[in-house]
Structure 1
Amino acid sequence: MATDLAVILPRVLIVSRRSVRKNKFVDFVGEYHLDLIVSYGAVPVIVPRVTGVHMLLDSFEPIHGVLLCEGEDIDPSLYEAETSNLSAEEMEEIRRLHASDTAIDKEKDTIEMRLAKLCLERNIPYLGICRGSQVLNVACGGTLYQDIGKELTNKLPLNERVVHMDYDNYDGHRHPVKVVENTPLDQWFKDSLEDEKMEILVNSYHHQGVKRLAQRFVPMAFASDGLIEGFYDPDAYNPEEGKFIMGLQFHPERMRKPDSDEFDYPGCPFAYKEFAKAVIAYQKKLNGLTNVKKSLKLDQEMEKKRKIIVRSFSLARNIYEHGINSSKESELEVGAEFLEVLLELYLYRISNLF
């Protein structure tokens, strides 16, 4: 028995990250992401990071949203023809300092780039956290710092430098970011922002970040060293209408008080809440295009018209397959007129979808 799409909860695809446990590869996704997606009414569907999955993404349909989060550094060949001016010695030092992140995973890159571009093509809601925000920027033509410390921090005066990765205080480390007014972040954290400073303290687990922001995006927050900590597409942001394209460099889902599940700020879970709202709305729009009312009963007049249309298509099929044309031209015109009306209706629905 076919499953009714109307009763399927909205599906959010999340690509796993590969790790090694007991000498075996293990795929995982941080549970905070999964918990928030479920709590706001959607179903997380984990896309395993295994060879060949990028060729099987059609099998994960229907896709109502995509959440991309943790992972290794993105292959620099995907965002700039030439590497940065970092020397071989500097690159070796970066690999030593950030060993778990600098091992590029091209399979994960391929899977996530395809999903990001699919979201952009079909206006599927997309939330990128940390690496996921970088994937989104690169997918739209932006670039990244291969290492913030070498390419940005070290070029600034000491009093302007920001620590973006603190391995000794991994979950507890925070640094201030300035929130841009009249952006979603401003709305979510408005009760925690002082009018003059417009700052919140965010966590930080990255040594890379946005260098050149893709043209379609607008910044939502900056670190004091100028690094963009959040951005979105204002033309693709309206959760009530199923629109949501956003990237956050920090992890709001992990901004919690020590030894507690209480968030640092009431606004921390709002990225997930509004994303899920958009996912639910997108599913409803999608179902509106695909659902056909069942058990439709026709009166005698409508049934007569239906039979005429069916006969028209049957005659057209005979002409196409066998060259038999024993019909009157008027009998074929009925089917042609029906197709014209159907096409107009389809185009109307598509134009009003987005």
Structure 2
Amino acid sequence: MSTDLSVILPRVLIVSRRSVRKNKFVDFVGEYHLDLIVGYGAVPVIVPRVSGVHMLLDSFEPIHGVLLCEGEDIDPSWYEQDIAGLSQEELEEIKRLHASDTAIDKEKDSIELSLAKLCLERNIPYLGICRGSQILNVACGGTLYQDIGKELSIKCLDSQRVMHINYDDYDGHRHDVEVVENTPLHHWFKDSLEEGKMNICVNSYHHQGVKRLAQRFVPMVFAPDGLIEGFYDPDAYNPEEGKFIMGLQFHPERMRKPDSDEFDYPGCPFAYKEFVKAVVAHQKKLNSLTSVQKPIKLNKEMEIKRKIIVRSFSLAKNLYIAGRGTNSPKETELEAGAEFLESNTALSVQQENRLKQMGATVRNAGSYIERLKLNEEREKMARNVMAKMTVEQLSDLLSFYHTMGQICSEVLDIKIHGLVNDLGS
């Protein structure tokens, strides 16, 4: 099995949702999410909702993307000091109406907020669906309506009010939204828009939503009551370059025709398609930053020659440090290193200094001492000349030698590569 990251599919982390089945906790993720992620070329990695996982997120590296989706209401302590002025009676009524959503899961909050902030800090592609969009907004300093019906709908005209959740027609319920022009959502659904109109119908499974949108985000779609149903960060959106930060309040993956897997609109799966495109690009970017050139595998003869050269350099280094004494190496022991250096004469100043410090430029003790003295005299003369130069002249000189150093470095690499090939032939 290959361990080369370049041939491993990118990994998308998805936090599971906890449920109870046969009196036991069960973690799950909606299958539609998994199908789309796999279908577009990534691997979903499920992060279990268990205590302490938010402290172990490093164990899920490498992280190429994060998809956060369904779940309960987010603990309001993450974004507000009070309960938006709602009375105790109103809060109890909300809990009765939305019993499955109002059971706060603080552990899931911690895991998902940690992941969202990680994505924002490291520019990891992030797609938030429903609760995932709310997590993204809260992670960036935004706030939520505790209950849309109690805080927003009550202030709207009858013609503007929207039913954001319908338990009697859970998957079939749709409501109208208006798409903002020149946003990603507009590009995905433009072929489905009627001429002169910007409206589509979306599904809806929520009683909370964005109240104050975090400053970095731009709305992409509004419900008739003014609720923001989708947003993105325009400065962090370029899927081809691995950039994708977005939240959608509705569920495009579940917008399908009755008793069918056919989507309501061709643009429904595009959020996942572009998200995975960004994930793939992000993985490639990470691989290019972390890839290490594999060492050249030497045959037996070349390995013997390499060891002789290394030993020659080591002896030269000891000679450089300790000077010639009773246990000084023989001239023949230094010849291998000398021959190697003589075949590679185009050294940059930096490379010459590095080799000098290692003692690798030593042909014999006498010639090394003479060369060292000569270099000291040259350095002294150079310092005297440079002391009389202007700042502009020194800057030009520095630029010139920097360019020459780059050229020498390239030539040296070519020569060393040629030497290795010669040794192998």
Is the TM-score greater than 0.5?
yes
User: After superposition, where does 1:1-354 map in structure 2 within 5 Å?
Assistant: 3-296=3-296, 301=344, 309=354, 312=357
The offset of 1:29, in angstroms, is: 0.2
* 3-state SS of paired residue (1:127): strand
Cross-structure match for 2:325: none
The 1:311–1:50 alpha-carbon spacing in structure 2 relative to 1, beyond 3 Å, is farther
RMSD: 2.7
Cα deviations across residues 271-324 of structure 1 (Å, max 9, x unaligned)? Answer: 00000000000000000000012134899649x999985895899xxxxxxxxx
* Percentage of matched positions with identical amino acids: 79
Q: Distance in 2 between matches of 1:145 and 1:157?
A: 18
Mark the runs of 5 or more structure 2 residues left unpaired by the alignment. 299-339, 361-371, 376-401, 407-425
Q: Which SS does the other structure have where 2:244 is aligned?
A: strand
Deviation at 1:154, TM superposition (A): 1.8
Question: What amino acid is the match of 1:144?
Answer: L
String of CA shifts for 1:166-215, please: whole Å, max 9, x gaps.
00000000001000000000000000012432000000000000000000
Give the counterpart letter for 2:196 in structure 1.
E
What is the aligned partner in structure 1 of residue 310 from structure 2? none
Amino acid at match of 1:286: L
SS of the residue aligned with 1:99? Answer: coil
Task: Count how many residue pairs are aligned between Structure 1 and Structure 2.
Answer: 321
Give deviations 1:30-49, integer Å, cap 9, x for gaps.
00000000000000000000
Shifted more, 207-216 versus 5-14: the winner is 5-14
Q: Deviations over 1:107-166 (max 9, x none)?
A: 000000000000000000000000000000000000000000110112222221100000
Q: Distance in 1 between matches of 2:355 and 2:69?
A: 51
Structure 2 counterpart of 1:171, one-letter code: D
**In the alignment, residue 28 of structure 2 is paired with which amino acid?**
F
Amino acid at match of 2:137: N
Greater strand proportion = 1
User: What is the rounded CA distance, in whole Å, between the counterparts of 2:77 and 2:9 in structure 1?
Assistant: 38
Amino acid of the residue matched to residue 85 of structure 1? G
- Where does structure 1 differ by over 3 angstroms across 4 or more consecutive aligned residues? 295-302, 304-315
Higher RCO (CA 8 Å, separation ≥ 6 residues):
1
Q: Work out the CA distance in 1 between the residues paired with 2:356 and 2:251.
A: 61
SS at match of 1:182: coil
Secondary structure, aligned partner of 2:20? strand
Q: Which has the larger displacement, 254-263 or 152-161?
A: 152-161
- Give, in whole Å, the separation in 1 of the partners of 2:355 and 2:106: 52
CA spacing shift, 1:58–1:258, aligned 2, 3 Å: same
Specify which structure has the higher proportion of helix.
Answer: 2
AA at the equivalent of 1:231: F
Distance 1:310 1:93, change over 3 A: farther
Q: When the two structures are superposed, what TM-score results if normalisation uses the length of structure 2?
A: 0.71
- Judged with a 3 Å threshold, the aligned counterparts in structure 2 of structure 1 residues 68 and 307 are, in CA distance, closer, same or farther, namely farther
